[in-house]
Every structure is written in structure tokens, then in C-alpha cells.
Amino acid sequence: MNLLSFLTETGTPFEKNVPLSKKTWIKTGGICGCWISPTSVEQLAEVCRYLQSNGIKFDIVGQTSNIFFHSTYNPEVIVSTARVNNYNIDGDIITCDCGWGKRDEIGQGLSVAGLRRVLWACRASWHCGLCCHKMQDASSARFPRCW
């Protein structure tokens, strides 16, 4: 089964012949043969397994805010994690998928969960979560920042 048939059969969103300048914040880049946008961790894993097992070279990107694609860069396949953006609140633990970038919504979730402080482990697009701490005295806590 070829890639486009696989993506159609699995219901994975994709676009063909995409100008990278339309996908990146910096508005640069050549043409991507197939831009794949899975919407769940399971779909992301399924796509990566398919690409790997079929020897298809691919790049993985997140929100693209820190990526500069040269105008001569024309990748065959790019997998974007930007739409893999679900989150779950379980008591005082919030688990976010790798494409999560909506801090305002997380703030609302923190309020509901009674959390006072969030330690963002990293601002890298490939990071798969954040660490939340329920604290008695959040004002006295000292957390290192990584950005």
C-alpha cells in the first residue's frame, strides 16, 4: 500500500505539495511532498511505524516557531505534531500531548484542579508533557527556567 492510500485508509489528515512557507512562522522553505498532521498519539505512532517500516525518510516538526527551512529544502514527507494536542486532568496531574501549545486553556485546567504553579519542563516542540506541582506555598518555590 502506498503512503497516500495508507493515510486515507487510516483517516490521517495530510496535504500534498505544500509550500513550507505556508506552514512555518518564519514563512520560508521549499515544497513538501506530503505534510502529515496526525491528531492523536496513536495516529502519530501508526504513521511513524508505517514510514519507518517502508523506508520513507521523514522529518518531525511541532509548531514550527523555531524552524528555518531554506528555500531549497524540499522534503518528501514531514510529520507535524501540532494537532496532537489533547490533555487530561487526573487529580493534580495534567498530562499534555506533544503538540499542546494552548497555555490559556491549561491555566483554566489548573484552576479547576486547584494547582497553583506549573513547571514547564521545556518549551521544545518535541517535548511530550509538562510537570505540575500542587504546592502549599507556591510563592516560596524556586524552579529553574529552561527558556
Q: In the CATH scheme, what is the code of domain 3-80?
A: 3.30.43.10
User: Within 10 A of 97 (CB to CB), how many other CB atoms are there?
Assistant: 18
pTM for this prediction: 0.68
Q: Left if phi > 0, otherwise alpha if psi is -120 to 50, otherwise beta: which for 11?
A: left
pLDDT at 137 over 50: no
Question: Residues 57-101: pLDDT tens digits?
Answer: 999 998 888 888 899 999 999 999 988 877 777 776 767 777 666
Burial class (CB in 10 A: 0-12, 13-18, 19+), 36: buried
Question: Residues 92-120: pLDDT tens digits?
Answer: 676 777 766 655 555 555 555 555 445 44
Domain range annotation of the chain: 3-80, 87-139
Question: CB–CB of 81/59 below 8 Å?
Answer: no
- Cell representation of residue 63: 509548531
The predicted structure's pLDDT at residue 120: 43
Q: Which of 29-43, 77-91, 94-108, 128-142 has the highest mean pLDDT?
A: 29-43
